[in-house]
Chains A and B, each alone.
Chain A
Amino acid sequence: MTRSGMTKRGATGHGIGRFASIVIVVAVLAAVPLVVHSNVTLNFLVATLLAALAGQGWNILGGYGGQYSFGHAAFFGTGAYVTAILQVRYGVNAWAGFAAGIAGGAVVGAVIGGLSFRSGLRGSYFALVTLAFAEVLRIVASVTPITGAGVGTLVKLDLHARAFQFESRAVFYWVILAMVAVSLVITHLVERSRFGVWLVAVRENEDAARALGVDVIMVKLGAMVLSAAITAAAGCFYVQYFLFIDSGIAYGTWISIEALLTPIIGGVGTVFGPLFGALVVKSLGEGAKLLAGDAPGLDLVVYGIVLVLVIGMAPRGLVGGLTAARRWCGRRWRPASIPAEEAEHG
């Protein structure tokens, strides 16, 4: 299977199979709080799904579009701040604030994308410019009064569904899981749409795409807006869950790194890559902390090691690596009469 996932399988109706796998994965994850009641574990899982959601956003632009952003914090932070500020300073309902936060992230995506794609920035130049935008936003947010400047913004505790706050961690977990599920479905739909096909073409070869009638700038911009909106949604959720945001959290490099690390580890340009990557990376990080005591920054060391190993050994991420391995096994052990394509899917 190629990296884009838009293979023959899609052509022959296996798309329903992919949809079913989304349902199964989400159903299994949804059952976890029924078995596990430990708040520590649920906290860990919420943090994992948060990273997965931020990564799902990054994956649309970076994985499918090949535009590697180092500054997805710009969208995460905007989503978080818009949600928090509207509630705290303007008394807007939390759900409306949440929606406005997503829209705000999309607008920031459109602005950054419009400026950088129109100037023809690609590759490492694009990565650096996105990083610069996120840093500028971080510095601005750390001094302007409306964001609470250095003190940050605290959202008032109000444990009611209408305030988008829940007493039980399990409910929060289901909410973030539902958001991840929506992002999986969106990714799946993008993959099978004309927009997705064009986006992958832009990733593979811009000039060839232009010659075939693809409006490269509009396609990139569309991917940027969608990508920003999904990552902003993660920021909105962060605020409702932790009820606090400051510039270092909102626009810090930590979230830019999580957003790109999860899909790169899991598999860039695949539907499940970011979710899978988040589960692996977060488990390893927590595992290392448990083993070595709570040494600060140890999880980052583990992230670094995993990243080096994955890029070195499975450049298409764990999903890509597994697909290749499965195909290899299929070829070895299946009778020659069954084509590897089918063996792989069966």
Chain B
Amino acid sequence: MADPLLSVERVSHRFGGLLAVNAASLSAQPSCITALIGPNGAGKTTLFSIISGFLKPDEGRIRFAGEDVTGEPPHRLARRGIARTFQIVQPFVGLSVRENILVGAHLHHRARDAALNVAEQVGREVGLGAMLDRPADSLTVAGRKRLELARALATEPRLLLLDEVLAGLNPSEIRDIVPVIRALCDRGVTIVMIEHVMQAVMSLARQVFVLAEGRMIAAGTPGEVTADPLVVEAYLGHGAAKKLGAAHEH
């Protein structure tokens, strides 16, 4: 396998007495989609916040493109090419869709015209072309998720961290946005996504990591992890794998 673009090495983070992430490791291969799944409260978003620099890990290292980037602030990581979206969308509500994307586009384009071009192009790419001049707060949930994606993309990232971009969307909206994500990957953007919509994880991800109670309990292809008894137990409770197995035999 090629060198991973991102590798998280035994990272821990503590909120007071709560060990939210416990010696978790993860790696993402370039130009492919890696999924991070796990039950609610497993520490997935905390791990994302650590990778994107919003939280400093108490232990462990993060390497990006071969360099140690542990503890760097978010804006510097963004400059290196790590972009994230937020699980709870954070649009700049007072601005239009175009202006929202423009903020990201300015990261690598100082000139206004160049940045506006990038913003427009990215807006079209995620399917917001018709809504560029609407106020951001007039968008639907699906629209806001697209906007979140567009803003992150406008920074021209090498690594894109997607935190539940499909959550809250209906099946037809999910069908619309999945190809957008796949196209990004085909274009060479490395993606790590936190996702609960398993159908999307199965169809998109090449590698899946499973986090439960702060620990990485499994890693492998989508098929491997869903068959892993530890994973089944993490989601459904102790003894669930055994019961399911017994049910299958009957």
* Chain A residues in the interface with B (C-beta under 8 A): 2-4, 6-8, 10-11, 192-194, 197-198, 200-201, 203-205, 207-216, 341
Contacts and interface: CB of A to CB of B under 8 A. Distances in A.
A215 B73 CA distance: 9
Interface stretch (B12-20, B104-112, B185-193, B213-221): B104-112
Contact of A214 (B75, B95, B96, B98): B75
Interface string B79-108: 100011010001111111011001110110
A253 B110 CA distance: 39
A290 B79 CA distance: 59
Contacts of B149: none
B interface SS class = mixed
Given A7-B99, A7-B133, A207-B86, A213 B104 contact: yes
Interface string B117-132: 0000000000000001
B115 interface: yes
B132 to A, nearest CB: 8
Given A201-B103, A213-B79, 4 more contacts: A194-B110, A211-B52, A213-B74, A213-B104
20 contacts: A4-B94, A6-B95, A7-B98, A192-B112, A197-B102, A201-B92, A201-B103, A204-B92, A204-B94, A205-B93, A207-B86, A208-B91, A210-B54, A211-B52, A212-B83, A212-B103, A212-B107, A212-B154, A213-B74, A215-B75
Contacts of A11: 98, 116
A4 B52 CA distance: 28
A10 B112 contact: yes
A204 B74 contact: no
Nearest to B99: A6
A337 to B, nearest CB: 17
Contacts of A201: 92, 95, 103
A200 B102 CA distance: 11
A216 to B, nearest CB: 7
Contacts of A205: 90-93
A203 B99 CA distance: 13
Given A8-B133, A194-B110, A209 B95 contact: no
B151 to A, nearest CB: 6
A130 B162 CA distance: 39
Across the A-B interface, give the 4 residue pairs with the lowest CB-CB distance, nearest first. A213-B78, A204-B92, A208-B90, A213-B107
Nearest to B102: A197
A193 B111 CA distance: 8
A212 B151 contact: yes
A315 B171 CA distance: 40
Contact of B95 (A4, A207, A211): A4
B211 interface: no
B135 interface: yes
Nearest to A206: B90
Contact of A193 (B86, B91, B112): B112
Interface string B51-71: 010100000000000000000
A83 B10 CA distance: 59
A122 to B, nearest CB: 16
Nearest to B74: A210
Contacts of B152: 211-212
B103 A214 contact: yes
A193 B116 CA distance: 12
B54 A8 contact: no
A7 B95 CA distance: 8
B86 A2 contact: no
Nearest to A203: B94
B155 A200 contact: no
A4 B92 CA distance: 11
Contacts of B102: 6, 197
Contacts of B83: 211-212
Contacts of B135: 2
Q: Which of A11, A192, A193 has the most CB of B within 10 A?
A: A11
Interface string B142-161: 00000000011011000000
A11 B116 CA distance: 7
Give the residue among A3, A194, A198, A208 with the most B Cβ atoms within 10 A.
A208
A194 B93 contact: no
A204 B95 contact: yes
A200 B92 contact: yes
Given A193-B112, A197-B102, A208 B133 contact: no
A8 B98 contact: yes
Interface string B174-187: 00000000000000
A76 to B, nearest CB: 29
A338 to B, nearest CB: 15
- Identify which of A6, A203, A211, A341 gathers the most chain B CB atoms within 10 Å of its CB: A211
Nearest to A12: B116
B106 A197 contact: yes
A193 B115 CA distance: 11
